[in-house]
Amino acid sequence: MTAIWPAIPYEEWRETCSALHLYAQMVGKYRLARTPWVNHSWHATLYVNGRGLTSSLIPDGAGIEIVFDLIDHAVIGRSADGRTAQFPLEPMSVAEFHSRFIEVIGTLGGTPRYHDRPNEVPDPIRFPADRQARPYDRAAALRFFQALVAIHRVFCRFRTGFIGKVSPVHLFWGSFDLAVTRFSGRPAPLHAGGIPGLPDVVTREAYSHEVSSAGFWPGSAQTRFPAFYSYAYPAPAGFAETQPTPAGAYFDQALGEFLLPYEVVRASVDPEATLMAFLEGTYRAAAGLGGWDRPALEAPIGEPLRPRPLAATTT
């Protein structure tokens, strides 16, 4: 079965997307509160799975996993000692989701405590105080999941072409983006910080080393359409002037990164190839202009059942 690339126009499901974003923050903050720190906040992210998004196993109680099931539209918690608890994804307030989620954690034998204020969103309201009624569009949430599955497949394939340090393909709940990041291996200049809603100490640790990072947003207050992005930190001279591929990709001066509208990919003859061209081209611009040791870091795209060939050695 080929991947499904559904239409996901942001404005049509903006309120549901906003609600899911805040719900994902709660699950992510719970994982963050219970998990030992890993470089670049990789311990706090969510992952695409066969039903939606998962926290993976959190070291709390007997071991707890939280899943957003975007097919049957439920939040499902499972404990390694066999306990389960769940509640439906449906129209509700953020405060109601918070209350139900806290109950699920307690039922599973976990510790239901985490930072209760959103990050990286404008005008944040503490979760227990956000009583505004929010919709839940089941069909739109399912289409979003189908898009994530298609994108995840390409991101994972792109990831195989790099044998240096590279992140998992994971969803950062702060900005609600699916991302994959390659590292040159060299330390980066100290980041200036100042990202709204994100502590400087977290930002600076995240960008402690040179990166070429790519990802996908479903849309936001800044970018009111679903889009792929790619940026470098630090951005090398000439990076913004690079002509990206495919047609439709461009450098956004306000964001400081390349964008490719999701709809360009979806409407193309070969969406996977179109997206891969954007990922590879913007990475090559970052690595080439940045003077990365590309021969030591790159490899052919991986193939099933074919081990990587060993580098030639001399005796």
Q: What is the pLDDT along the chain (315 residues), one digit of tens a residue?
A: 568 999 999 999 999 999 999 999 999 999 999 999 999 999 999 999 999 999 999 999 999 999 999 999 999 999 999 999 999 999 999 999 999 999 999 999 999 999 999 999 989 999 999 999 999 999 999 999 999 999 999 999 999 999 999 999 999 999 999 999 999 999 999 999 998 889 999 999 999 999 999 999 999 878 899 999 999 999 999 999 999 999 999 999 999 999 999 999 999 999 999 999 999 999 999 999 999 999 999 999 999 999 987 765 444
Sheet with 74-79, edge to edge strand ranges:
47-48, 52-54, 64-69, 74-79, 84-88
> Can you tell me which residue has the tokens 């979760």?
127
Residue 204 has phi, psi (to 5 degrees) of: -65, -35
Can you give the pLDDT at residue 196? 87
Q: Using only C-alpha atoms, what is the Rg of the chain?
A: 20
Contact call for residues 87 and 72 (beta carbons, < 8 A): no
Can you give the pLDDT at residue 309? 79
Residue 215 has phi, psi (to 5 degrees) of: -170, -170
CA distance 305 to 303: 6
Beta bridge partners of 170: 179
Q: E strand or H helix at 217, and its extent?
A: strand 209-217
